[in-house]
Structure 1
């Protein structure tokens, strides 16, 4: 006890001078030590992983002395030359314009600290994991047991027949040049297994673009949240585990049921099947797009110091997933792998970038172009605006029966928007949630009738008409993935998705148990609901969960793998777009982007893993000018002034969660985390944020982001395709450049020319 008290006293004494400094700063800004401390604080904060660091000034041009010994020329086009080592299938790809050579392995491996197993993996095209006859998981690379692939040259590359001697797995590897890219694939029909072993996973060219420690200036790019960089650094103790991210999130069919801890900051879900690397900023880079196999894929990144001294980023594909199989009613069980292998093609496209395009901005622009070419991204109307998400009713538990707390009646919505219109908020849209009988929580999948405490069909028609006069779309919140335990409208035995272990797929959200509906049941419900929406005057929907939740369903009557779930959910969204009005989606994955006209709750940060060095707006750069996107609610921002600046920098529009009644009424409901929402309290802040967004993003409506520079820590310059540049100054000191002075914690828009 004495030691605890002593430690507490010591910490208190240590903190006292800090508070004293803070107080003295407020009293006198003329004291030089305080200003210096602020500058140091700024430098530390804006050089942290939550922001983007400035690049090195006057970076030297990279030089190479590549060796092609042991490699044969396989193909050449106007942009690239492809070389292959016929024993390992290792590649070297040369950019014909810059002469830079990308290597899938390393030259002179004896010069590095790697053991034999790692060297075999580094120098081989393929590494597999498999379970042997005893169930033990082992790995094997092409060079491990001298596989001796049979290679056949083609017009644009080669095809190789590979047999892994120990794993007893046979497959075909196709490698071809195509314009500025390299396409690598393994067809599913060419994979053959032995009865005594089971293929678990495959890595393809995992060390393409790998860098030993900080031998090269650059970074790896991860699609973590808005986007993250891992700069090349010397091996150290910064991280001891790699980044392993399941594309589109983990498949709930293979996870144990656990309670969601809402107090823990969640890891950001991967929305796009991409990754990349830069060798010399604005010199050489590549972006990899996983075109097939992404539903069974991970993105893997190893910083230097994790297993080896190399920084490397790749993908891996799971042909069998491990899962927990209960063997008793008490839920005791064992971990096992799937008996039947997942059936999918693997296709990777490596797109090589040079000069001004060789950074994360160039990667995002290239991916944007790729999505447009593949008809996965379409231009939507993009105007500076604000989202008003309004809570109607919420359920409150009672001793005998539950009741609904009416927070905002339907008829009050036009009153909110008229008040904002008077204050020059010209562009907005409304999402109305908690409108179903029983309130927001616990009613799904049932959606009708409308909760009588909030209004009726006529109120919906009147509110919609009033908003329409002012050009304000009204969306009704819903969800086609979740079903609450005890709710009506579904069968717990027939309509709920099942895990591979035969358990139902369920989550605990607070005290509420939520099931996932079988995707085919969700589609059936959606088609049935269209008539009811029409009867009640509802035309636009804001759909939660369905755009970002992806799982397999082992329900015997309606089974679905993740690829089929994507197809089913896209059909569901298409039904609403075709037969109703518009659909806005919350946090949608890339495969739904062309079907949404608004992206809600876009991530504004990365997950801040210990090895991540920068946060970047990769996702926003891809979407800007195509789909308007909206930040999470400003009500709950810890630093409102800084967060508004981040919205302006990222091209993001603000959002507010609002109610007519005070939020303390929600204290004993599932929405007890909403601690401030009353419209009268937030009206002025909505007006202020809209004004800032209109003055900045209103000048780049429909334009795309073409460049993003960090001239100094805490200052960002974003250039748009219409010639405008937005300068954001997060620091406590004015910033001058381009003939303009930007005040502290402020922004400026200047003309740079198209």
Structure 2
């Protein structure tokens, strides 16, 4: 196979012959719908709009005198305007109000051009394209310029239903708004969606819910960017036109993706705070087909707003020549279908109207509706996570060379050495144990004889168990490098919409590995479970694949939508846990939380967009007390001291990646570029970090984070339950305030009810 990157392909000038081939392939794609039960023949829907008698939707905001109470519970009232289908939520205890449209007080100051001003007042915003012409551009529209209207507005006892009709472009989109105990839910009903000749790309439903301008008030947009980040309200931004638009659960490599370099969204949640009023939104259904879209003030109108962008189609690159890279960008004729697309808006009480309050709501949602039960500490002391590297390979001119780093016998010596430091709560992940080491995927068993084979691994695991230390074996089943397990790339590889088998290349000097169809790797994992059990492994550590990679598969043998892939991965995690007792994964999407025991190497960073003003530990606030988690390996940190302090601030447990005395071998390895893995070089550092982390976190292993704030520039406070606080000082000078002193580049623990 000739190697090339597939994620981002440039537009290439197309020859006549290539264009003809492209057109034939493109036309076939328009007629091929692998999942939809709809007829592929065109259905004329114009008659559905001919007898329309409703008045066209009027420009401007709704008249607030027209809103009527249509649902009510102990906490909230839901009011709606039947002429616009806009709604309001009123907190009965405080009288605070959240609108599904811009705040009328500031609307008169809106300076965005007229057509976009109409979009912002519309309860729905769509984007569509003429998919029959691959050269056509997409169009964004609201109800007003399309002479749209409301159809069948009906109250339901706990909310209302309505259909938004766009007669000029022939779309009908039915929605449902429902009041629940502590949230209001907006839902798109895909089964009632009507399309004419044009193709719907995405829908923003009530995009301006809770929106507020920057002038005269403090506030921020919460994004699930990395571990979490804030866009603080700000006027006169340097680059006001910039927006945030990213896919929940990361990019789908089967479609075109703009190379933004942003962190993957692992949590389907966002929020907005203005003064002492805030809401948090959870995408509760259909999140596999959702983006999170945020527009800081000045980007798209006067207000700061954030919403769910529901995807129905995506761009893809239609290749016409693998050798030359010729092709063009277009959209498929098929839309993504799912049972339901729902976003829940949770209004927050004034004393909970910050990102910690938002995290508490999401945590409770995970407990009550996703089955993520709180942890019970296994030991009095915190855990230390050790990744041991067995071996890797070095690329050679004709043949690869095997680079032995840690045999099973040496791994036992390593563990004993650290255990004898007095660190008794250890967790081991053994990587690079498979045939040909860490960079080789496919045909994991038996354990490579050059590091000890199956017998050596059994003996190591038995030794670890004698010290009450669990051992997980590291694996990534989503890629294949060797064709083992009966894998043939043409038959079993993950294919994009153009039919191309997707390849993975982490470094330009590497050969490509092949992405495996989820339907194929599910069978392989199940067939391997008995082998894991025979070795005595406590579980599998799924690294960089299952729990992270959500790519549509157009391989006709294993057709899988994004939702199907999530289901496949959840089945794998569930069965692996049932048969082995436990599974862990690194930096996972949160759909995996109910099955995994530990989140390894959870991101603590963000994407450094110019409009983002602050990184926060939102993911860690959600997780602490639900799941254990570590951040990046301590011995590969860029700034050791800073990142150690951050791990304490974020409530994370220490983790190291280590090897035996042959660590220098790995400098030449295929994909492990960490130069300092010899455990003997890190013994004292491990002991010191563990002692200090244990001092800070041992007492709060099962406690939720209930507060997090900035006390001064470079000084952060994390609160557990009100009477336990950790104050971290990142500065090079001592911090003093209210009788509290924190040395430079250090932290202190404050205990007791009267903690300042």
Shorter-chain TM-score tier: 0.7 to 0.9
Change (3 A) 1:252 1:228: same
Determine the structure 2 residue equivalent to 1:131.
129
Structure 1 residues 221-230 or 154-163, which shifts more?
A: 154-163
- Aligned position for 1:367: 362
After superposition, the Cα gap between the structure-2 partners of 1:136 and 1:457, relative to the gap in structure 1 and judged at 3 Å, is closer
Unaligned segments of structure 2, at least 5 residues:
1-61
* Cα distance in 1 between the residues matched to 2:736 and 2:214: 36
- Select the residue among 483, 497, 514 that pairs with 2:494: 497
Q: Which residue of 2 aligns with 1:521?
A: 520
Offset of 1:539 from its aligned partner? 3.5
2:438 and 2:194 map into 1 onto residues whose CA distance is: 50
Equivalent residue for 2:334?
340
SS across alignment from 2:491: coil
Cα displacement (A) at 1:721: 2.6
> SS at the partner of 2:568?
helix
Q: How does 1:281-360 map to 2 (within 5 A)?
A: 283-329=276-322, 330-344=324-338, 345-360=340-355
Report SS of the residue matched to 2:120.
helix
> Unaligned 5+ residue runs, structure 1?
1-65
Q: Residue in 1 aligned with 2:174?
A: 172
- C-alpha RMSD of matched pairs (Å): 2.1
Alignment of 1:651-666 (within 5 A): 651-666=651-666
Query: Which deviates more from structure 2 when the two are superposed, residues 460-469 or residues 69-78?
Result: 69-78
Correspondence for 2:162: 160
Between the aligned partners of 1:487 and 1:403, the Cα distance in structure 2 is 19
Q: Does the 8 A contact of 1:87 with 1:148 survive in 2?
A: no
Per the alignment, do residues 363 and 611 of structure 1 end up closer, same or farther by CA in structure 2, a change over 3 Å counting?
Answer: same
Q: Report the number of matched residues.
A: 679
The question of whether the paired residues in 1 share the 8 Å contact of 2:404 and 2:665 is answered with: no
Aligned to 2:424: 426
| 1:501 alignment partner, SS class | coil
Distance 1:205 1:400 in 2: 60
Relative to the length of structure 1, the TM-score reads 0.87
Report deviation, 1:667: 2.8
Q: Distance in 2 between matches of 1:428 and 1:607?
A: 32
Shift of residue 351, structure 1, vs aligned partner:
0.5
Is the CA contact (8 Å cut-off) linking 2:278 and 2:354 kept in structure 1?
A: yes
Distance in 1 between residues matched to 2:366 and 2:332, nearest whole Å: 33
CA distance in 2, matches of 1:576, 1:130: 42
Structure 1 residues 723 and 512: alpha-carbon distance in aligned structure 2, compared to 1, 3 A threshold = farther
Classify 1:683/1:489 alpha carbon distance in 2 versus 1 (closer, same or farther; 3 Å). farther
CA-to-aligned-CA distance 1:364-420 (integer Å, 9 cap, x gap): 011000111103412234461211111111112334432211101111122122222
Q: Which residue of 1 aligns with 2:190?
A: 188
Q: Which residue of 1 aligns with 2:100?
A: 104
SS in 2 for 1:139: strand
CA gap 1:215/1:293 in 2 versus in 1, 3 angstroms: farther
What residue is the counterpart of 1:551 in the other structure? Answer: 551
Deviates more, 1:639-648 or 1:66-75: 66-75
What is the distance in 2 between the residues matched to 1:221 and 1:674? 34
The separation in 1 between residues aligned to 2:122 and 2:294, in whole angstroms, is 18
Instruction: Give 2:15's aligned residue.
Output: none
Q: What is the CA–CA distance in structure 1 between the aligned matches of 2:488 and 2:123, rounded to whole Å?
A: 49
Aligned residue for 1:374, secondary structure, equals: helix
Q: How far off is 1:67 after superposition? A: 7.7
Given that residues 149 and 166 in structure 2 are in contact (C-alpha distance below 8 angstroms), is that contact kept between their aligned partners in structure 1? no
Partner SS, residue 701 of structure 2? coil
Match of 1:71 among 67, 73, 98: 67
> Does the 8 A contact of 2:211 with 2:305 survive in 1?
yes
Does structure 2 retain, via aligned residues, the 8 Å contact 1:167–1:199?
no
Note if contact 1:140-1:167 (Cα within 8 Å) is conserved in structure 2.
no
Counterpart Cα distance in 2 of 1:275 and 1:436? 40
Structure 1 segment 330-479 matched on structure 2, within 5 A? 330-344=324-338, 345-382=340-377, 384-441=382-439, 443-479=440-476
**Partners of 1:700 and 1:722 within 8 A in 2:** no
Are the aligned partners of 1:140 and 1:166 in contact in 2 as well (CA < 8 Å)?
no
Using the TM superposition, give the Cα deviation of residue 581 of structure 1 relative to its aligned residue in structure 2, in angstroms: 2.8
Structure 1 equivalent of residue 83 of structure 2: 87
Higher deviation after alignment, 526-535 or 318-327: 526-535
Give the structure 2 partner of residue 8 of structure 1: none
C-alpha separation between the residues in 2 aligned to 1:606 and 1:481? 25
In structure 1, distance between residues paired with 2:199 and 2:290: 18
297-306 or 357-366: which moved more?
A: 297-306
TM-score by length of 2: 0.86
Distance in 1 (CA, whole Å) between partners of 2:240 and 2:386 is 41
